[in-house]
Amino acid sequence: MQARLSLLYFLQFGVWGSYLTCFGQLLGAGGLGADIAWFYAAIGFVSILTPWLFGRIADKTGRPEKLLGACHLAAAFLMFVMWHYAAGHEQLQFSVFYPLYLGFLAFYMPTMALANTTSFALLACSGRDTVKSFPSIRIWGTVGFVAAMWFVNSAYWVDGHLGFAFSDGGDVGHLRFQYNAMQLFCSGVMGVAVGLYSLSLPTLISRSAHASSGGPMNHSAGADSSRRSLADSLRRMFASRPRTVFLIFVVFSGVCMQISNGFVTPFINHFMGIGDYARSLASGNATMLFSLSQISEAATVLLVAIALPRLGIRWVYALGLLAWALRFLFLGFGNPGDGLWLLVGSMIVYGVAFNFITIAGHLYIQQVAPEGMKGFAQGLMMFMSNGIGATCGTLVAGGVINRWCDWQMMPVGGSSAMMRLFMGDWFWPWIIFACYALVVCIVWLILMRWKVTKPE
């Protein structure tokens, strides 16, 4: 079972890794560079509704694994439609491309919480400790994300032949998938694979609502859960003051993730338009450089199982926020030349930033959520983080970056090839984001003074 769940996460995050970190460059090349913030905020728009909605459906039906497969297949279909449109249009129309992306996210984003719900239920049913077992499973999601990033960073398709390149020099380097619509095709293929695989997982009929107890099903409790209204569910979740403080800060920390996903790759790529760094290996392989973040994530994910029981959510979360501040600070001072070590350092601290916020957060909310509401709690966390947090934060961040930067056509790779790059003074946006994460960290430590280890 542990091997099967590991493969599930490998495929699950391969869908995202195929396009998420290089999507901004595709949008910029297609004339939608000024709208990058809206596309990454779309993750927030759909997360306001769909994750907790599908989480409630999973709680009521007890079939999260089937719902997971159906969502992936629907999302893959819409991703293929996006690829077909982007491949056939040099200039993308916001009115066409954006609704398609919203549709894709409406089905894909719930799969994050549904995969967690499915995994926690299967682990509990097999008598395993989720805190100890889940990190070693979730690490394969990071491996899948990195593998997909490396593939789209280097792969190109010319005259019916698949090839690989690591430089923008020559005739094919600028045709790599990280710059064009083929990143969307790769994501669609991964989506079909994980959708079909999810449908093959063991059936969890009516188990998800009581999985954490590991005991026989309480039919009366299940019926009560089905009749529970949304308002009642929210009241129960926010009845605990520590849970309330935690969920509020999930909003603030969610801002950091989408800033990172949306703008780091265009930032690294913009060095291709600066003479001193134009031919550097780092500036021409932004997606692969970004993948060091996911490698760091994989290397540090097991720390969550060690740190959370010993330090508690208060200090684990604070360390995650501090790591976000360092990530943005290093980006502000880094470059592909003598500042390359700062760019690499930014990627390394990402592992702690992501795991100590996201992974630890999901484990914590699983522990403290009321019985019969585990799926709803996972979805609610996604709503607070990728919904409210990502929506507000990404739009504000986009406005900040657009204040100092704009898209320009620039020669790349020392050849006649031209590419639209996000040029400007990136220093101040990164410093502003670093200060934001540091302030949130300090306020969190002031307000979060409780230790809750069981549902209330």
Q: pLDDT of 290-320, one tens digit each?
A: 889 888 988 887 788 888 888 888 899 999 9
| Residue where the block lists tokens 């309330």 | 244
Please, what is the end-to-end C-alpha distance for the chain in angstroms?
A: 30
Highest mean pLDDT among 22-31, 73-82, 126-135, 238-247: 73-82
Q: SS in 3 state form for the chain?
A: CHHHHHHHHHHHHHHHHCCCCCHHHHHHHCCCHHHHHHHHHHHHHHHCCHHHHHHHHHHHHCCHHHHHHHHHHHHHHHHHHHHHHHHHCCCCCHHHHHHHHHHHHHHHHHHHHHHHHHHHHHHHHCCCCHHHHHHHHHHHHHHHHHHHHHHHHHEEEECCEEEECCCCCCCCHHHCHHHCCHHHHHHHHHHHHHHHHHHCCCCCCCCHHHHHHCCCCCHHHHHHHHHCCHHHHHHHHCCCHHHHHHHHHHHHHHHHHHHHHHHHHHHHHHHHHCHHHCCCCCHHHHHHHHHHHHHHHHHHCHHHHHHHHHHHHHHHHHHHHHHHHHHHHHHHHCCCCCCHHHHHHHHHHHHHHHHHHHHHHHHHHHHHCCCCCHHHHHHHHHHHHHHHHHHHHHHHHHHHHHHHEEEEEEECCCCCCEEEEEEECCHHHHHHHHHHHHHHHHHHHHHCCCCCCCCC
Is it the case that residue 180 has pLDDT exceeding 80? yes
* Cβ-contact 247, 160 below 8 angstroms: no
Question: 108-139 burial by CB neighbour count: b if 16+ within 10 A, else e?
Answer: bbbbbbbbbbbbbbbbbbeebebbebbbebbb
Is it the case that residue 255 has pLDDT exceeding 70? yes
Higher-pLDDT residue of 451, 427: 427
Is it the case that residue 353 has pLDDT exceeding 90? yes
Tokens of 47: 């997360």
Higher-pLDDT residue of 108, 263: 108
- In the chain, what percentage of residues exceed pLDDT 90? 31
Angle at 181 between CA 175 and CA 184, to 5 degrees: 130
User: Closest by alpha carbon to 355, among 289, 302, 313, 310?
Assistant: 302
Is it the case that residue 221 has pLDDT exceeding 50? no
User: Closest by alpha carbon to 283, among 83, 429, 426?
Assistant: 426
d(CA 110, CA 386): 11
Is it the case that residue 35 has pLDDT exceeding 80? yes
39-53, 111-125, 254-268, 321-335: which has the minimum mean pLDDT? 39-53
* Cβ-contact 187, 18 below 8 angstroms: yes
Q: Where are the domains of the chain?
A: 2-209+228-447
| Residue where the block lists tokens 């005991």 | 215
Is it the case that residue 168 has pLDDT exceeding 70? no
- pLDDT at position 170 is 63
Q: Is the pTM of this model over 0.75?
A: no
CATH of 2-209+228-447, one of 3.40.930.10, 3.30.1360.120, 1.20.1250.20, 3.40.50.720: 1.20.1250.20
Is it the case that residue 208 has pLDDT exceeding 60? no
Angle at 257 between CA 253 and CA 263, to 5 degrees: 135
Question: What is the per-residue pLDDT across 260-284, written as a single tens digit (0 to 9) for each?
Answer: 777 888 899 889 888 788 778 888 7
- pLDDT at position 169 is 62
At 79, is the pLDDT very low, low, confident or very high (cuts 50, 70, 90)?
Answer: very high
Amino acid at 372: G
Is it the case that residue 455 has pLDDT exceeding 60? no
* Cβ-contact 165, 287 below 8 angstroms: no
Tokens of 281: 């290996």
Question: What is the per-residue pLDDT across 422-433, written as a single tens digit (0 to 9) for each?
Answer: 899 999 999 999
- pLDDT at position 261 is 73
* Cβ-contact 391, 31 below 8 angstroms: no
Mean local confidence (pLDDT), 187-196: 95
